[in-house]
Amino acid sequence: MSRKPMARPGGRSARVQASVHAAVREIEAEAGRAALTVPAVAARAGVTPSTIYRRWGDLQELLSDVAVERLRPEEPPADRGSLDADLTSWARQFLDEMASGPGRAYVRDALLGDPDGSNAGRCSAYAADQIEAVVARAAERGETAPTVEAVLDHVVAPMMYRILFRPGPLPAAYADQLVRAVLAAPPTGR
């Protein structure tokens, strides 16, 4: 409840939030993660540290907030003509973004400083929305498609598991393989 109840997009709260978020991104880009401290962000954003502590609680929650924004997809998944192509394309891009160095960091940040799991839930919802779009398009075409749940369980989950728990490279082919498997299985992922 303390996160985004900004009064109005033009209000002061909104300006503060924007400049703080911008400061986080700038400092991280210029000086790296180690330089990210509440006082540093506050100075850069032109606010006092106490403002950040009061609004976000601590650095982790702030980073979590910023990370979730970065993980939000900016556009709906591309239409490649078929369910198979759409899903493969989307999964590849997802894996590519998430498995990159910065991507892994954002995922971890989003998961961190998130006592109630609401930020993590938002991330999952982003993916679910994207998949929903792909599945809906397939339905319009008359294709039989897996449920969103099945895709989350057997495409998204394995990728995230590896990203989080198994350091090491993840080739695009891995995404392809997961998509193939979920499309080959009986329509309902049960």
Partner DNA sequence: CACCTTAAGGCACATTTTTTGCGTCTGGGG
Partner DNA sequence: CCCCAGACGCAAAAAATGTGCCTTAAGGTG
Summarize as ranges the residues that interact with DNA (CB under 7 A): 5, 7-8, 10-13, 16-17, 37-40, 46-51, 53-55, 57-59
Q: Name the one residue in this structure whose structure tokens are 């008359």.
A: 142
Cα–Cα distance, 119 to 25 (Å, whole number): 18
**Among residues 1 and 184, whose Cβ is nearest to DNA?**
1
Q: Which two tokens stand for residue 44?
A: 């850069």
Residues 104-163 that bind a copy of itself (CB under 8 A): 108, 111-112, 116-118, 120-121, 123-124, 152-154, 156-158, 160-162
Amino acid type, 121? G
Cα separation of 105 and 99, whole Å?
9
Task: Show Cβ contacts of residue 185 under 8 Å, excluding neighbours closer than 6 positions.
Answer: 146, 150, 154
- CA 163 – CA 180 distance, rounded (Å): 20
The rounded distance, in Å, linking the Cα atoms of 106 and 65 is 10
Site map for a copy of itself, 59-98, x if CB under 8 A?
----------------------------------------
The CA distances from residue 132 to 1, 76, 87, in Å, are: 27, 10, 11
Instruction: Answer positive or negative: Cα dihedral of 176, 178, 183, 185.
Output: positive
Beta carbon of residue 172, minimum distance to a copy of itself (angstroms, whole number): 16
Q: Which does 39 bind (CB under 5 to 8 A by kind): DNA, a copy of itself, none?
A: DNA
Residue corresponding to tokens 């239409």: 79
| Cβ distance to a copy of itself smaller for residue 8 or 165 | 165
Q: Taking the complex as a whole, how short is the minimal distance between the CB of residue 184 and DNA, in angstroms?
A: 49
Rounded distance between C-alpha atoms, residue 134 and residue 15, angstroms: 35
Of these partners, a copy of itself, DNA, none, which one is at the site of residue 50 (CB under 5 to 8 Å by kind)?
DNA
Which of DNA, a copy of itself, none has residue 76 at its interface (CB below 5 to 8 Å by kind)?
none
Residue 190 engages a copy of itself in binding (rule: CB under 8 A):
yes
Q: Which residues contact a copy of itself (rule: CB under 8 A)?
A: 108, 111-112, 116-118, 120-121, 123-124, 152-154, 156-158, 160-162, 164-167, 177-178, 181, 185, 189-190
